[in-house]
Amino acid sequence: MTTTQLEIPHDWEAITPEWMTRALASHFPDAEVANVSVDHRDDGTNRRARLRVDYTAGDGPATVFVKGADPGHKELLRITSGLFHEPRLFRSGVDLPVEHPRVLTALIDEPGYDFFLVMEDLSARGADPRDATRPLTPEQAASGVRGLARMHGKYWGGAVLDDPALDWLEPFTAWGGMEIAPLPAALDRLGDDAPPQVLSLTIESLLDDVWKPYIDSLTRGPQTLLHGDPHVGNTYLLGDQLGFLDWQVVRRGNWSLDLGYFLQGALTIEDRRAHEDALLEEYRDALALPAAVLPSKSEIRLGYAASVAHGLTLWLCTASAGELWQRPDIALALAQRYSAAYADLDTSGALAAIG
């Protein structure tokens, strides 16, 4: 039996023992599933659940994590990230030299604009998912920096453009819809010590003078494989190793997006200020590129400073929306971190410098 015979289940009752047996067959060919039950649900912009699996024969995982498109959020995902990038990535078979969840089955229904993933349950490996309320230590962030650098270095330049397994990969471009964000609501919540450079922004200047010029720069210069959304809420710890989940925004583009978006939000403001220079060095060293194509220290610093534009825009807009897109405490913490980085790193000057 092959996964190509599988139909995407549109409700949890459609995940029968026979369906799960076929979904696991490529990795656990001797497993025969006796029962599947929902252990925990956590629906958001996607429908997600942990399923408990019992067997009549063979060995397989006791639990799996499944993820599919939520009908009410398909249009939002179409605009901001697309539905098919993550399943295409894991169907492609390309090597990702960074810790990530093991995907057991990836299904795509293009006419129905739907997808479905069956993945390992990271909790079975003792993974510790993080978010903005539980920031990383500099040592933990260094593990993430090295992982991103290994991936970026492996797919640098022609390696990402010429790989036939990645011929579907799209460039990272700006999307619409954020102009409706009530930005003053987020600015009011930042606090009295928020940088004046941020407090003076309007939604028009944030998008047209900060975000879009940076996003437009991502297709200039060397391209690489980007996670695309490596904020701290898409990370987990396994001991001292940091992993990245939720690859739905995977794209190609300039390395700086992943590095800056991850680092500026994953650390407290104080830790970022104290350790970011060393972490940028860590990233550059871990790229393992030939000297002829290795970015200079000043190029790394400039791209990193410009990249604040992305995190600042996304999390100010998210924080302005109340509970619509994210827990308010998480959105505010990240908006504050990217706001501080915008002033500390002179992002407006960096954007002018990159043209």
Are the beta carbons of 97 and 151 closer than 8 angstroms? Answer: yes
Question: What pLDDT is attached to residue 325?
Answer: 77
Rg (CA), the chain: 21
For residue 197, what are its two tokens? 């450079």
Tokens 């904020």 identify what position? 231
Q: What is the mean pLDDT of each run of 10 residues along the chain (355 residues)?
A: 71 94 97 96 82 97 93 63 88 97 95 92 96 98 98 97 96 94 96 95 98 97 96 97 96 98 98 98 98 98 98 97 86 98 98 95
What values do phi and psi take at 36, rounded to 5? -130, 130
DSSP secondary structure code for residue 171 in this structure: B
Distance in angstroms (rounded) separating the CA atoms of residues 197 and 213: 17
Q: Name the fold adopted by 128-354.
A: Aminoglycoside 3'-phosphotransferase; Chain: A, domain 2 (3.90.1200)
Question: What pLDDT is attached to residue 290?
Answer: 97
Class of domain 3-122: alpha beta
Q: Is it true that 3-122 and 128-354 share their CATH fold?
A: no
Distance in angstroms (rounded) separating the CA atoms of residues 105 and 66: 9
Question: What pLDDT is attached to residue 2?
Answer: 42
Question: What pLDDT is attached to residue 47?
Answer: 87
* Residue count of the chain: 355
What DSSP assignment string belongs to 16-33?
Answer: -HHHHHHHHTTT-TT-EE
For residue 221, what are its two tokens? 């210069």
Handedness of CA 174, 175, 176, 182 (dihedral sign): negative
Question: What pLDDT is attached to residue 11?
Answer: 87
pTM above 0.85, yes or no: yes
Tokens 């089955």 identify what position? 105
* Domain residue spans of the chain: 3-122, 128-354
